[in-house]
Structure 1
Amino acid sequence: MTAHDTVVEARGLGRDFTVSEGPFLRRRRCTVSAVHGIDLTVRSGEIVGYLGPNGAGKSSTMKMLTGILTPTSGSLRVLGMEPSRRRTRLARRIGVVFGQRTTLWWDLPLRDSLELARHMYRVPAADHARRLGRLTELLELGPFLDTPVRRLSLGQRMRGDLTAALLHGPDLLVLDEPTIGLDVVSKSAIREFLLRLNTEEGTTILLTTHDLGDVERLCERVVVIDRGSLAYDGSLDGLRASMPVPRVLTVDLAVPAPALEVEGARCVRVEGPRQWLELSDNPAAVIARVTRDHGVTDLTLREPDIEGVVAALYRGSARTGADGTRSLSG
């Protein structure tokens, strides 16, 4: 792999904070490690989900990647630059969107906010007009370009923030909770836009989110951080396989019956003619056995969602041994 292919390269990345604790007159200073020993490589064109519970170190990592924080240990390069040393130069090549904070000017029409963003990033007028036209079409900004930002809905404001972050054509887009608080339709629109941006322009996307729907729709690769350390780095399918959460088959019988006894499944719940079977065998084999031996009116297979898988991973991480080993490593 060449340097050109690597967008983010972190080795042994760490960040400590000094805090005061204890009674007011007897407070003592201590060091808290927010991030420690992170090895992370993000290649050009990837969409990577960066997951973790609150307080896991996600925000500290993102702030180091964007140059807001300086690492206290390890090395970090983003687009070939040390973020904390080349923050201004790096800003012209990355876009950042924080779902709970806007970069737009509250009392200005959206169009004027975007014009100010053009000057901040020193985008030539012709390039700005071309990219704004394209983004307006893709994100359907037309009806509210002249609306003050304070009067935009949350979904409209998020589309405006995305536009502001992309007007200068960044190589890397860093997203922190981009769909938080949005309705289902708005979430779907943002996800489809990000997929198109990645496919058509090759923009690398690093995404932090608690909405596992974002991860399942956008990310083939996920990185899970827990208590400042890397707990998993690999494919979404690999995460599911590493921390198996049982598939559940819902069976609607023609008539109520006692709990079914089926090879490769365990009945975990019965309500009238409906039964829930937890599967330990191939779903197709279990379904064949159920339909062969019982009168069935309907079947529904529930695949494990990524939220359940990540929750299982956190539970495993909580069982860290005294030697620092975890139940799962990536």
Structure 2
Amino acid sequence: MYAIEVEKLRKEFKSYSSRSGLAGAFRDLFTRNYKMIRAVDDISFTVKQGEMVGYIGENGAGKSTTIKMLTGILTPTSGRVVVNGMNPHKERERFVQTIGVVFGQRSQLWWDIAVQESFRLLKKVYRVSDQDYNEHMDHVIETLDIGPLLDKPVRKLSLGQRMRCELAAALIHNPPLLFLDEPTIGLDVLVKLKIRQFLKEINEKYNTTILLTTHDMTDIEALCERVIMLDEGKIIYDGSLQHLKQNWGEGKQIHFQFRDIVSKEELMLLVDAAWEQGEDRYSWVAHVRAADMAHVIGKVVSSYELKDIHIREVSTEEIIRNIYEEGIHHG
């Protein structure tokens, strides 16, 4: 059973451009110049129930537009969207009972009243019984450590405290599907760890499906086995994080510091690897797959005198940056 089914989904916006000068402004009164911008360009994917999927891309890639279509805020230009067995923008009332949404930049809590009053209002909106609320929310409040914050107005909370309360608010009706858009933006490491741990717990306990968009690759690594990567409205990768690392990561970086100056040409003749200059004229870095590491080190050590050598894993963030820079379409 799929929690999310998306087929040939497209969203286009009209973008108006003004003409220059007074004459141009006058002409704009009668006829406007506009062009169609395709924010999401015929994408298709499915998410199974209970999956935790990272939805990643640079700013303007179309991530938030997709989330808004999946949550029923925006109507697609064309294509098919089925979320929790429903059409998000046509069966709105029934649909919103089955999802939780946390937008890092927007609040669903009332600014001037105590957090617990917001929770009570949301409990009524979602028609959650006292028994269900107490059973579920006691665990949520304890795990997210927000008990001491419940009688404070939202405007008095720090960003980290507010985000933990936002997450709790999104879960009052214990939805089977949770959309998280930059949920840890601007938070300190301890709060991030708490939120990640909590998301893992609800996924295990309730089989909650989670779609997470974030710029923080450590969030993705901690939570998601699968990533969908978007670039200019198109999916350029959909698969496991592990596979992404193995295929694109080139596994390791080997930092060599030589006793004498060595040219890039000499190193390339010696061993087939992607070489780049290190921090000084005596240093070179080889980007290699984990399987080729021993061979590369063996060749270099037997041919040159070295002062130092160390090995560094390539981070997921670097891998993804490399993919965007090379603009490779994959999978």
> Could you tell me which residue of structure 1 aligns to residue 142 of structure 2?
137
2-side partners of 1:259 and 1:129: how far apart?
A: 69
> Could you tell me which residue of structure 2 aligns to residue 112 of structure 1?
117
Note if contact 1:18-1:31 (Cα within 8 Å) is conserved in structure 2: yes
Query: Offset of 1:192 from its aligned partner?
Result: 1.4
> Could you tell me which residue of structure 2 aligns to residue 328 of structure 1?
329
Are residues 1:22 and 2:18 paired?
yes
Note if contact 1:259-1:270 (Cα within 8 Å) is conserved in structure 2: no
> Could you tell me which residue of structure 1 aligns to residue 319 of structure 2?
309
Query: Offset of 1:213 from its aligned partner?
Result: 1.0
> Could you tell me which residue of structure 2 aligns to residue 258 of structure 1?
260
Query: Offset of 1:139 from its aligned partner?
Result: 0.7
3-state SS of paired residue (1:111):
helix
Superposition TM-score, scaled by structure 1 size: 0.85
Superposition TM-score, scaled by structure 2 size: 0.85
3-state SS of paired residue (1:64):
helix
Gaps of 5+ in 1: 318-326
Note if contact 1:268-1:277 (Cα within 8 Å) is conserved in structure 2: no
> Could you tell me which residue of structure 1 aligns to residue 22 of structure 2?
none
Distance of aligned partners of 1:315 and 1:298 in 2 relative to their CA distance in 1, 3 Å threshold: closer
Are residues 1:52 and 2:46 paired?
no
Per-residue CA deviations over 1:43-80 (Å, capped at 9, x if unaligned) read: 01111111111111111110110001111111110011
Which of residues 259, 272, 288 in structure 2 aligns to 1:279?
288
Range 93-102 or range 194-203, more displaced:
194-203
Note if contact 1:111-1:145 (Cα within 8 Å) is conserved in structure 2: yes
2-side partners of 1:300 and 1:201: how far apart?
A: 44
1-side partners of 2:233 and 2:304: how far apart?
A: 51
Q: Which amino acid aligns with 1:6?
A: Y
Number of equivalences: 314
> Could you tell me which residue of structure 2 aligns to residue 240 of structure 1?
245
Distance of aligned partners of 1:42 and 1:32 in 2 relative to their CA distance in 1, 3 Å threshold: same
> Could you tell me which residue of structure 2 aligns to residue 228 of structure 1?
233
Query: Offset of 1:250 from its aligned partner?
Result: 4.3
2-side partners of 1:29 and 1:127: how far apart?
A: 51
Identity over aligned residues, as a percent?
Answer: 43
2-side partners of 1:214 and 1:45: how far apart?
A: 17
Gaps of 5+ in 2: 20-24
Q: Which amino acid aligns with 2:146?
A: L
Are residues 1:269 and 2:271 paired?
no
Note if contact 1:264-1:279 (Cα within 8 Å) is conserved in structure 2: no
3-state SS of paired residue (1:90):
helix
Distance of aligned partners of 1:219 and 1:298 in 2 relative to their CA distance in 1, 3 Å threshold: farther
3-state SS of paired residue (1:74):
strand
Are residues 1:152 and 2:157 paired?
yes
Note if contact 2:7-2:42 (Cα within 8 Å) is conserved in structure 1: yes
2-side partners of 1:33 and 1:40: how far apart?
A: 18
2-side partners of 1:227 and 1:272: how far apart?
A: 39
Note if contact 2:250-2:288 (Cα within 8 Å) is conserved in structure 1: no
> Could you tell me which residue of structure 2 aligns to residue 67 of structure 1?
72
1-side partners of 2:288 and 2:63: how far apart?
A: 34
Query: Offset of 1:287 from its aligned partner?
Result: 5.9
